[in-house]
C-alpha cells in the first residue's frame, strides 16, 4: 500500500475508503481504529497498524477500495474522531464539515480485553447522523502479528457487506433501537436556520429517568435530495418514514430561518405492524393524516411535548409534565397527543412482566387517551382509532368493562367510516377480551369475524391461528367434534406453511383430546401423524413427547407390548436429554402396565424407580404419582400397612401443593383401601371427606356419591348391631 496509515494520539488510526458495490454505487467510509485498551505487553501499535494496512490492501483488491486523507474532516470539526462525536457536535456542524468530503459512514474499531479475551468491536455509523448501521463484537484468536490478519478479514468483510445492503437513495435507515427523526430543510448554511434547528433539537432529549438513553439521531436532508412534496407533505413524510424508519419527519419551511413566528409540518410514522394479522396489538397508528400530521409552531410548547413522543415520561418528570398540560391539554393537537399517549402505552405494556415498572407511563397514556375520546371530531375513523387504542389499553390492564364499552364504540365508528382494517382489529380485540372474561360464545363470534377477514387477505398464518382458537373454545365448551374439525383445519394450514412443529403440536393435542373423550382409535392415528412430524424435525424433545403419548394411548387400547416399546423408545431420548421428570413418568406408566398384568415385582420396581428419580429432583408431581401408585398396588395385594404408608406420604405432598383435587383423589383411594381392609369407620370418613371436597365428582355424580355413602353407612350400622350381639365380630368398625 503506497500510503501508510496515520496514527492519531499515539493509539488511534484513521483512513478513508471508497467502497464500490456490484451495482457501482459509491460509498465513502472513514475507519477509526483504537488499540489503547490492549495490555501493554500486546500493545504494539505500529506493528498492528501495518497488519491492518495489509488487510485493507487485500480488501482494496477485492472491493475496489482506495485510501484517502482524513485531515480535512478533522480540520472541519476541530476535534478528534471518536464514537462520541455525534453527541458532542451539533448535526449541522457535522453536515457542513462533511459537505466537501461526502463521507457516508464512520467505522469505529477497537480491540480490548473482556473476560480475559481480546474482543474486536466494530460499529459502523452513518455520517453525519450517527445512526448505527452495523455493530459486531467478535473474539480474536490472537493479536500476535502472525495470526492477527486472518482474524480481521471476516468481520470487516461482513461490515462492508452490510453497508451496501442497507444503503438507500436517502442514505442509511435509522436504527430501530435508536430514536431517529428526519429534518428536511433548504439552505443549511443559513445561520438563522442553524440556530433555530439547534434550539429545536436541544429540546428532544431523554428525561432524567432515561439517562441511559442516547439523544435522538437527527438525519438532515435537503429539499434537493427528496422528491418535491408539492401540496402533499403527508405522503412524502410517510414515504420517508417508511424508508428511513424515522419516528417523524419535520418539513422545515424556507421562511422559518427568520426571526418571525413560523411553523413546520410534522409527519409521524405509522405503526410498523407484523404481517400476520393476529400478531397486531395496541398501540397502533394506521398512518391516517388526521393521526400523524400537524403544523407545529417552531416557538410553541408543542416542540417541548414532541420529546415525550420519543422518550417515555418517567416518574421524576411526571410532576413537571402534569403541570405542563394540566390546564392546557385541550389546546394540543390530536396527532401530537396521540403519539405521546402511544409512546407511553407501548413502554407500559412492553414492561408488563416487571413488577416494579413505572406506573407514570400508564397514567400518562390513560389521561391523554381519555381526553382525546372526549373531543368532538369530524372524522369517524379518527375517533374510531382513538377508541380502539383506548379499549385495547383497558383490556391489556384488565379493565374489562371499560374495554367493552370503548370497543363497542369504535366498532360503530369503523362501520360508519367503512374502515375494514379497523373493523377487523376491533373484532380481534373483542375476541381477546371475551377470552380473558371466559365468555366463550362472544369469543367464538368475534374470532369468526376475524377469520373471514384474514381468509380474504390470504393470510394463512392468521387463519391457522384463528382455527386453533376456535378449536380451544369448542373444547372448553365440551364440543369435541367441532374442536376436532377446527384443529384439523389448523393443522392442514400449518402444513401448507411448512410449519412442521405447529402441525406436530396440533396432531399431538388431537391425540390427547380423542383419548380424553374415549375415542382411543382416533387418538392413535393422530398420535402416529404427530410422530411422523417429529421424525421430520429430527428433534429429540418432540420425539420423546410423541412416543410417550403413543404409549399412553396404546395402554388404553390394551396394546401393552406396543406401549412398552413406545415408552422404552421415549426413555431413550429422555436419557439423551437428561429429562429425569420424563423418565419418572415413563417408569410410572410402565409400572401400571405390569400391575395390570399382576406382575407385582416389576410394578413395584418401576414405581420405586420413578420415586427415586423424582425424589432426587424434588419433583413433587412425580413423587405424588409414584407414592399413589405404590399405595394402589399394595392395596390390591392386601399389604395394608405398606399401602397406607404410601398414601399418607402422597397425601402430605398433595396438601403441600395446595391442590384440593389431588388431596381428594388420594383421600378417596386411601379410604377405599381402609374399607377393603375392613376399617369401615376410617374408610367412610376419608371417602366422605373426598366426596365433599369435590361435590361427589371424585366418585361420580352427586346422586351416585350420596347413594354410595348411604351403603357404607348402612354397612357400618349392621356391623354395630352384629358386634352388640356377638362376642367376636367378623368386621371391625373401629
549 pLDDT higher than 80: yes
Work out the average pLDDT over 40-50. Answer: 60
Q: What pLDDT, in 10s, does the model give residues 127-139?
A: 899 999 999 988 8
Q: What pLDDT, in 10s, does the model give residues 146-185?
A: 666 777 778 888 887 888 788 888 999 998 888 889 999 8
Work out the average pLDDT over 493-517. Answer: 97
Mean model confidence pLDDT for the chain: 85
Spatial contact of 16 and 68, defined as CB atoms under 8 Å apart: yes
Can you give the pTM of this predicted structure?
0.82
Work out the average pLDDT over 206-210. Answer: 56
Work out the average pLDDT over 532-556. Answer: 97
DSSP classification of residue 479: -
Q: Convert 439-475 into a string of H (helix), E (strand) and C (coil).
A: CHHHHHHHHHHHHHHHHHCCCHHHHHHHHHHHHHHHH
Q: What pLDDT, in 10s, does the model give residues 217-226?
A: 899 998 888 8
What does the pLDDT read at residue 3? 34
Q: β-pairing, 180-185 with 248-251?
A: parallel
Better-scored residue on pLDDT, 186 or 437: 437
Spatial contact of 25 and 167, defined as CB atoms under 8 Å apart: yes
What is the pLDDT confidence band of residue 490, given thresholds at 50, 70 and 90? very high
Q: What pLDDT, in 10s, does the model give residues 347-372?
A: 999 988 988 888 888 988 999 999 99
Better-scored residue on pLDDT, 548 or 703: 548
Q: What pLDDT, in 10s, does the model give residues 397-448?
A: 999 999 999 999 999 999 999 999 999 999 999 999 999 999 999 999 999 9
Work out the average pLDDT over 14-39. Answer: 61
Better-scored residue on pLDDT, 425 or 187: 425
Q: How far apart, in whole angstroms, are the C-alpha atoms of residue 427 and residue 703? A: 43
Buried b (16+ CB within 10 A) or exposed e, 581-620: ebbbbbbbbbbbbbbeeeebeebbebbebbbebbeeeebe
Q: How far apart, in whole angstroms, are the C-alpha atoms of residue 630 and residue 638? A: 12
Amino acid at each position: 500500500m503506497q500510503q501508510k496509515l496515520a496514527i492519531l494520539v499515539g493509539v488511534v488510526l484513521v483512513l478513508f475508503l471508497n467502497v464500490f458495490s456490484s451495482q457501482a454505487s459509491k460509498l465513502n467510509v472513514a475507519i477509526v481504529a483504537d488499540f489503547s485498551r490492549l495490555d501493554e505487553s500486546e500493545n504494539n501499535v505500529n506493528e498492528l497498524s501495518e497488519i491492518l494496512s495489509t488487510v485493507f490492501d487485500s480488501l482494496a483488491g477485492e472491493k475496489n477500495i482506495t485510501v484517502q486523507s482524513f485531515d480535512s474532516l478533522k480540520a472541519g470539526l476541530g476535534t478528534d474522531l471518536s464514537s462520541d462525536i455525534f453527541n458532542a457536535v451539533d448535526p449541522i456542524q457535522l453536515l457542513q464539515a462533511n459537505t466537501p468530503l461526502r463521507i457516508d459512514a464512520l467505522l469505529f474499531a477497537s480491540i480490548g480485553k473482556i473476560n480475559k479475551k481480546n474482543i474486536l468491536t466494530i460499529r459502523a455509523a452513518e455520517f453525519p447522523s450517527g445512526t448505527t448501521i452495523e455493530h459486531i463484537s467478535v473474539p480474536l484468536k490472537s493479536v500476535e502479528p502472525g495470526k492477527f490478519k486472518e482474524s480481521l478479514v471476516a468481520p470487516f468483510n461482513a461490515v462492508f457487506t452490510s453497508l451496501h445492503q442497507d444503503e438507500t437513495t436517502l442514505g442509511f435507515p435509522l436504527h430501530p433501537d435508536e430514536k431517529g427523526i428526519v429534518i428536511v430543510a433548504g439552505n443549511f448554511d443559513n445561520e438563522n436556520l442553524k440556530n433555530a434547528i439547534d434550539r429545536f433539537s436541544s429540546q428532544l432529549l431523554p428525561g432524567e429517568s432515561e439517562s441511559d438513553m442516547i439523544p435522538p439521531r437527527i438525519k438532515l436532508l435537503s429539499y434537493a435530495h427528496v422528491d418535491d412534496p408539492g401540496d402533499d407533505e403527508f405522503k412524502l413524510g410517510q414515504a420517508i418514514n417508511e424508508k428511513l424508519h424515522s419516528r417523524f419527519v419535520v418539513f422545515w419551511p424556507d421562511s422559518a430561518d427568520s426571526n418571525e413566528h413560523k411553523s413546520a409540518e410534522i409527519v409521524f410514522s405509522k405503526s410498523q405492524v407484523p404481517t400476520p394479522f393476529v400478531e397486531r396489538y395496541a398501540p397502533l397508528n394506521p398512518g391516517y393524516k388526521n393521526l400523524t400530521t400537524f403544523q407545529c409552531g417552531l416557538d410553541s410548547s408543542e416542540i417541548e411535548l414532541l420529546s415525550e413522543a420519543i422518550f417515555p415520561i418517567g416518574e421524576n418528570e411526571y410532576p413537571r409534565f402534569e403541570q405542563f398540560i394540566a390546564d392546557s391539554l385541550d389546546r394540543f393537537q390530536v396527532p401530537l397527543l396521540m403519539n405521546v399517549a402511544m409512546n407511553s402505552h407501548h413502554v407500559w405494556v412492553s414492561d408488563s412482566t416487571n413488577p416494579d415498572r413505572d406506573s407514570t407511563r400508564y397514567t400518562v397514556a390513560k389521561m391523554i387517551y381519555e381526553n382525546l375520546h372526549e373531543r368532538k371530531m369530524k372524522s369517524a375513523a379518527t375517533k374510531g382509532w382513538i377508541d380502539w387504542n383506548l379499549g385495547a389499553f383497558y383490556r391489556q390492564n384488565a379493565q374489562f368493562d371499560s374495554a367493552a364499552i370503548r370497543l363497542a364504540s369504535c366498532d360503530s365508528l369503523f362501520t360508519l367510516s367503512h374502515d375494514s382494517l379497523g373493523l377487523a382489529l376491533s373484532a380481534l380485540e373483542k375476541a381477546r377480551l371475551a377470552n380473558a372474561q371466559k365468555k366463550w360464545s362472544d369469543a367464538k363470534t368475534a374470532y369468526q369475524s376475524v377469520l373471514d377477514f384474514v381468509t380474504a387477505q390470504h393470510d394463512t398464518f392468521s387463519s391457522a391461528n384463528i382455527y386453533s382458537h376456535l378449536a380451544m373454545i369448542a373444547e372448553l365448551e365440551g364440543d369435541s367434534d367441532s374442536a376436532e374439525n377446527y384443529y384439523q383445519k389448523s393443522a392442514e394450514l400449518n402444513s401448507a406453511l411448512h410449519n412442521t412443529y405447529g402441525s406436530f403440536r396440533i396432531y399431538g393435542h388431537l391425540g390427547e383430546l380423542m383419548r380424553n373423550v374415549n375415542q382411543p382409535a382416533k387418538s392413535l392415528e393422530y398420535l402416529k401423524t404427530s410422530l411422523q412430524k417429529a421424525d421430520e424435525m429430527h428433534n429429540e424433545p418432540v420425539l420423546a413427547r410423541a412416543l410417550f403419548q403413543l404409549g399412553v394411548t396404546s395402554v388404553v387400547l390394551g396394546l401393552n407390548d406396543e406401549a412398552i416399546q413406545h415408552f422404552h423408545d421415549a426413555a431413550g431420548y429422555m436419557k439423551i436429554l437428561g429429562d429425569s421428570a420424563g423418565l419418572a413418568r415413563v417408569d410410572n406408566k410402565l409400572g401400571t402396565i405390569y400391575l395390570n398384568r399382576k406382575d407385582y415385582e416389576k410394578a413395584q420396581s418401576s414405581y420405586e424407580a420413578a420415586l427415586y428419580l423424582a425424589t432426587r429432583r424434588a419433583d413433587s408431581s412425580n413423587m405424588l404419582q409414584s407414592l399413589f401408585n405404590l399405595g394402589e398396588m399394595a392395596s390390591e395385594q392386601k399389604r395394608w400397612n405398606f399401602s397406607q404408608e404410601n398414601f399418607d406420604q402422597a397425601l402430605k405432598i398433595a396438601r403441600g401443593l395446595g391442590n384440593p383435587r389431588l388431596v381428594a383423589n388420594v383421600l378417596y383411594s386411601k379410604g377405599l383401601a381402609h374399607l377393603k381392609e375392613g376399617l369401615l369407620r376410617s374408610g367412610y370418613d376419608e371417602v366422605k371427606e373426598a366426596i365433599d371436597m369435590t361435590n361427589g365428582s371424585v366418585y361420580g355424580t352427586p346422586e351416585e356419591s350420596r347413594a354410595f355413602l348411604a351403603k357404607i353407612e348402612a354397612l357400618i350400622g349392621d356391623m354395630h348391631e352384629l358386634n352388640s350381639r356377638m362376642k367376636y365380630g367378623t368386621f371391625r368398625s373401629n
